[in-house]
């Protein structure tokens, strides 16, 4: 087995296991073809190799960020020679610079674009779900989360499955967390930075006098995403139960992607309309005025669901071409009726110490009305971005790879 200590650095901070050894190298002026011990063949362009080298002429060793400007090379990075060195690394001589650069075989294999699948595939497969009577969200015991060392194995044991549920299903519920006001911030920062909004870094969800949102009343809330009035509405939301002794107020969660896919199958014209027409989302409060225009359902370049923006109480007057108005409302009402179908919804009651984490661009959340005089209901909430949960999950995967290296 190769000596890891003698292998070259990679242009990142990750650890890349060697799944197979390089056993053959062929090259011409423009590229290299590698043969692997498991029979795979991989082709790499010379210019791609030159830009992705890990030496000090290419990346800053302190930051691993690229400093190379390809346009400043003395010529196209043609390959004069290529071979496997004694450590099992690929060694390439670039003629124009008279420079020899080495490439880690595990990193090359992991970035084999000649044999790659979808490089933009989600970190965790997206799994659509339905609710119905007796259905519950993925739930985990997390009572020791704040007692663990940040980025330690014990924290990872709680966070890894939680993040997988959020990435795959858009939702997870954690039990047994502290109920002290403000503890949500410390919990959230175990994942990443919190996104402040006009409602604050943390916001209190409870009935209060002179409310500036329907959420701060005891009335029922229909299925919705939060802050669709923003250009980038938050990708992630956390709701942490501190108190709950009221009658009613049951939480409701729906997979907006599952509803959208059902709409695509049942009423394709309505689905197409809601991906095309730009609705006005507006929150014109006393001291703020947020407005954004967007389709209710957004797809990515591959036609896959990217986000939903659904919040009847935060829609402003529709400003669409005249001939689109009636089809838009017909599509909207078809969707609204589907949101009332009970088989889409999970219903549950918050217990103090519960925390739900959900994808705010995918999940719809709602609430039954509650009787405010029957007790106290106090949730604290915060927002962050999808990027933070993906970054945290990648860091957990990196730590696992590094441990795997140590055990080799």
30: domain CATH number? 3.30.2020.30
Residues 6+ apart with CB under 8 A from 69: none
Q: Are residues 379 and 303 in the same domain?
A: yes
Q: Would 98 be classed as within a structural domain?
A: yes
- pLDDT value at residue 3: 47
What secondary structure does DSSP assign to 150-204, as a single string?
A: TTSHHHHHHHHHHHHHHHHHSEEEEES---STTHHHHHHTTT-PPBPBTTBSSEE
Q: Are residues 184 and 247 in the same domain?
A: yes
Q: Are residues 171 and 219 in the same domain?
A: yes
d(CA 109, CA 42): 8
Q: Are residues 112 and 22 in the same domain?
A: yes
Q: Are residues 105 and 144 in the same domain?
A: no
Q: Would 61 be classed as within a structural domain?
A: yes
pLDDT band for position 406 (cuts 50, 70, 90): low
d(CA 257, CA 360): 11
pLDDT band for position 403 (cuts 50, 70, 90): confident
For residue 151, the domain's CATH number is 3.60.130.10
Q: Are residues 55 and 184 in the same domain?
A: no
Q: Are residues 229 and 96 in the same domain?
A: no
pLDDT band for position 372 (cuts 50, 70, 90): low
Q: Would 405 be classed as within a structural domain?
A: no
**What average pLDDT does the segment 366-383 reach?**
85
Domain count, the chain: 2
- pLDDT value at residue 73: 96
C-alpha gyration radius of the chain: 26
- Mind listing the pLDDT tens digit for each residue in 260-296? 999 999 999 999 999 999 999 999 888 899 999 999 9
| Domain-ending residue, one of 84, 116, 148 | 116
- pLDDT value at residue 212: 66
Q: Provide the residue range defining the domain that includes 21.
A: 4-116
Q: Are residues 157 and 28 in the same domain?
A: no
SS3 call for 268: helix
- pLDDT value at residue 209: 67
Q: Are residues 152 and 110 in the same domain?
A: no
Tokens describing residue 378: 């106090």
d(CA 248, CA 367): 9
- Mind listing the pLDDT tens digit for each residue in 12-62? 999 899 999 999 999 999 999 999 999 999 999 999 999 999 999 999 999
More confident residue, 348 or 151: 348
Tokens 């992991």 identify what position?
Answer: 110
- Mind listing the pLDDT tens digit for each residue in 195-212? 999 999 999 998 766 776
Left if phi > 0, otherwise alpha if psi is -120 to 50, otherwise beta: which for 246?
Answer: beta
Provide the mean pLDDT of the chain: 93
Q: Are residues 145 and 48 in the same domain?
A: no
pLDDT(217) > 70: yes
């Amino acid at each position: 087995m190769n000596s890891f200590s003698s292998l070259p650095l990679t242009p990142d901070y990750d650890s890349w296991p060697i799944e197979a050894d390089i056993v053959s190298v062929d090259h011409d002026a423009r590229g290299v073809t590698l043969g692997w011990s498991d029979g795979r063949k991989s082709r790499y362009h010379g210019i791609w190799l030159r830009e992705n080298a890990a030496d000090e002429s290419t990346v800053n060793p302190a930051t691993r960020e690229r400093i190379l400007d390809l346009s400043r090379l003395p010529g196209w990075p043609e390959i004069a020679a290529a071979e496997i060195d004694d450590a099992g690394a690929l060694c390439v001589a670039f003629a124009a610079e008279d420079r020899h650069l080495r490439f880690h075989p595990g990193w090359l294999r992991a970035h084999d674009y000649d044999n790659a699948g979808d490089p933009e595939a989600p970190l965790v497969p997206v799994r659509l779900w339905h609710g119905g009577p007796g259905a519950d969200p993925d739930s985990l015991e997390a009572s020791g989360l704040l007692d663990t060392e940040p980025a330690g194995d014990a924290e990872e044991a709680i966070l890894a499955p939680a993040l997988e549920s959020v990435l795959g299903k858009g939702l997870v519920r954690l039990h047994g967390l502290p109920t002290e006001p403000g503890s949500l911030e410390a919990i959230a920062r175990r994942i990443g930075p919190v996104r402040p909004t006009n409602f604050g870094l943390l916001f209190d969800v409870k009935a209060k006098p002179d409310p500036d949102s329907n959420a701060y009343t005891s009335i029922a809330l229909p299925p919705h995403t939060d802050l669709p009035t923003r250009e980038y509405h938050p990708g992630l939301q956390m709701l942490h139960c501190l108190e709950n002794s009221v009658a009613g107020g049951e939480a409701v969660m729906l997979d907006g992607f599952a509803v959208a896919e059902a709409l695509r199958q049942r009423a394709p014209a309505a689905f197409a309309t809601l991906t095309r027409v730009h609705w006005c989302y507006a929150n014109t409060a006393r001291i703020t005025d947020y407005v954004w225009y967007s389709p209710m359902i957004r797809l990515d370049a591959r036609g896959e669901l990217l986000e939903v923006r659904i919040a009847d109480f935060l829609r402003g007057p529709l400003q669409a071409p005249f001939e689109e108005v009636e089809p838009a409302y017909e599509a909207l009402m078809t969707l609204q009726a589907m949101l009332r179908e009970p088989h889409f919804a999970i219903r549950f009651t918050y217990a103090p110490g519960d925390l739900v984490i959900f994808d705010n661009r995918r999940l719809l959340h709602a609430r039954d009305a509650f009787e405010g005089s029957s007790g106290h209901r106090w949730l604290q909430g915060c927002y962050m971005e999808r990027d933070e949960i993906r970054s945290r999950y990648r860091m957990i995967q990196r730590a696992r790879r590094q441990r795997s290296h140590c055990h080799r």
